[in-house]
Structure 1
Amino acid sequence: MLTQFARLTVAADGRYATPEELQFLKDYFKSFNLRLSAYQKIRAAEPEILRKVQAKIQSIDPTLFHSGSQDVTNKWKIDTVRVLRHTAAALLFNDRDRFKEQFITWFQTILKAMNVERSADLTYQVMLEVICQYLTPEEAALFVPIWELNRIKA
């Protein structure tokens, strides 16, 4: 929405916006309460969600949080929180374009450079399963397409 709003501000400079140009705002406000509810649920449950995701990943692959002899669990947590929070913000503001342009491309470059794409793929999969336990089907329908953007390779 923020990206669309910025575009509209430029496009409609000195004139009234057309009904077609304003449609994205109507659509956004129709889904606002669901977006806000999902955002608040994710924010409130973040520590519990992370614990569940970590436990499930460790049950699937106990070596995933180790790089050689180094425990990388804390790094994983920091990165996972970063992804979750950026995704939740994209959900709240319904701004996929900004999310893709300003976060996903950068973060996927980092993952590839650090050769942790396998860890990221498993995290994305497990996180989606866990998150959906906290959201209503309607909230999940808004969240899942944005979360899936994280899985698209740059």
Structure 2
Amino acid sequence: MNITLEQSIQNADGRYLTDSELDTLHVYIKTYEARLKTYTLLQEKSGEYILLALQKLAKTDAQTVQQHKDKCIRDMDYVVRSIAIAILRDDEEGFRQELLLWMQNIMVALHKEQQSSRAYRMLQEVVTQEMPKECSDLVNHYLDEFTKALLAGVA
């Protein structure tokens, strides 16, 4: 469940939720169908999307893809799964918390931010081409946030 909504419910402690707290629930319910559709598409096709993105990247950076393909696939799959869960939960804050931890422990330590950001930009292109607009907009919002954070070195 959405962290904000979850905290509101926990903090209610003997009272009813306020109108603004209920607004979060209304948005969560209203957008559920699109979020579930997006999650399902990522669950079914993320591997295909990642390979297409790496094929695009190989056109300009073949050596990097050849040397690091397995690690790229593993890392990109992790990010896409995190995005899928965040979309399903409608939980940007949870995504940021997970993203920050992962980036601090893995990506920044390896100093691969520039190469990785190019791969994620290619993934954004693939997502835009392959997914329905309502779904690609959701995914690309998170990919954009991830790429910006990656280049900044912090989430």
Structure 1: 5+ residue stretches without partners: none
Deviation per CA, 1:71-96: give whole Å up to 9, x if none. 32211111110011101111111101
Q: Secondary structure at the match of 1:72?
A: helix
1:135 aligns with 2:131: yes
1:107 equivalent in structure 2: 102
Alignment correspondent of 1:86 = 82
The structure that is helix-richer by fraction is 2
Contact 1:42 1:131 in 2 (8 A): no
How large is the RMSD of aligned CA atoms in angstroms? 1.5
What TM-score does the superposition give when structure 1 sets the normalisation length? 0.89
Please, which moves more after superposition, 105-114 or 30-39?
105-114
**TM-score, normalised with respect to structure 2:** 0.88
Tell me how far 1:5 sits from its aligned partner: 2.2
Number of residues of Structure 1 aligned to a counterpart in Structure 2? 149
Q: Is the 8 A contact 1:42 1:134 kept in 2?
A: no
**Paired residues of 2:86 and 2:92 also in contact (CA < 8 A):** yes
Aligned equivalents of 1:47, 1:145: Cα separation in 2? 19
Deviation readout 1:76-128 (Å, 9 max, x if unpaired): 11111001110111111110101101x21122222111011112111110011
Q: Where in structure 1 do 4 or more consecutive aligned residues deviate above 6 Å?
A: none
For residues 1-150 of structure 1, the aligned pairs below 5 Å read 1-65=1-65, 71-101=67-97, 103-109=98-104, 110-150=106-146
Q: Deviations over 1:4-56 (max 9, x none)?
A: 12211232111111122111110111111111111111211122112211111
Paired AA for residue 54 in structure 1: L
Report sequence identity in percent: 24
Q: Secondary structure at the match of 2:31?
A: helix
* Runs of 5+ unmatched residues, structure 2: none
How many angstroms apart in 1 are the aligned matches of 2:102 and 2:114?
14
Q: Is the 8 A contact 2:3 2:94 kept in 1?
A: yes
Higher RCO (CA < 8 A, seq sep 6+): 1
